[in-house]
Amino acid sequence: MSYQFLITLKESDPLIWRRIAVPTDYTLYKLHMAIQGAFGWENSHLFQFSQTGFMDKICYGYPGDDIDPEVTTIDARKTKVSRIFKKEGQTYCYIYDFGDEWDHQIIFEKTLAEDLNAPYCIDGKGACPPEDVGGLSGYYQMVKILNKKSHPEKAEYIQWLGLVDGEKWDAELCSIRETNKRLLLLAK
């Protein structure tokens, strides 16, 4: 069996989302890694799972990485997904990069009959914003600049993103094939 989740980047417009399936024996840490792979994040910042966000007094992540001494952080590497997600339609919060604050909503959609050895992306929409772009406002500012014919910061963004001459950033792009290639690497 496996679990199917819909994960959306909150407040993105148009909505950036992924629908993934993960093995039922996954820990929250492995779910974190699956979300990283599904969205194209680089796992270079802290993360946390919690019921509603930063204001929660209990979260799951790496103990010792607390941003608030009044928050209890439970080890995500030792917490099974099944301990948190018990019924279809249940929601949870996943925050990646406490500076840019990429706030995701996770919806537990259903349990699937198929057994998986690795996470799998079923569907998705929208390009993942690049790391360290400054949150959603920075991302939309970048997209706006890249879509202009000329702008003083355009060449810098093109170089930073590693785009080749004439290549454009496609904010709508979500290649399920490329996403699943990244996710397959998690099984190795």
- Higher-pLDDT residue of 19, 53: 19
Quote the CA–CA distance of 77 and 8 in Å, as a whole number: 23
Percent of the chain with pLDDT over 70: 97
- Higher-pLDDT residue of 62, 64: 62
- Which tens digit of pLDDT belongs to each residue from 64-83? 765 667 888 999 999 999 99
Quote the CA–CA distance of 25 and 12 in Å, as a whole number: 30
Q: Is the pLDDT of residue 51 over 70?
A: yes
pLDDT at 67: 64
Taking the CA of residue 45 as centre, how many other CA atoms within 13 Å lie in the half-sphere pointing to its CB? Answer: 18
Q: Secondary structure of the chain in the HEC alphabet?
A: CEEEEEEEECCCCCCEEEEEEEECCCEHHHHHHHHHHHHCCCCCCCEEEECCCCCCCEEEECCCCCCCCCCEEEEHHHCEHHHHCCCCCCEEEEEECCCCCEEEEEEEEEEECCCCCCCEEEEEECCCCCCCCCHHHHHHHHHHHHCCCCCCCHHHHHHHHCCCCCCCCCCCCCCHHHHHHHHHHCCC
Q: pTM (2 decimals)?
A: 0.94
What's the CA dihedral at 130, 135, 136, 142 to 10 degrees? -50
Q: Is the pLDDT of residue 141 over 90?
A: yes
- The confidence band for 166, taking pLDDT boundaries of 50, 70 and 90, is confident
pLDDT at 108: 98
> What's the chain's average pLDDT?
92
- Which tens digit of pLDDT belongs to each residue from 80-100? 999 999 999 999 999 999 999
Average pLDDT over residues 148-152: 90
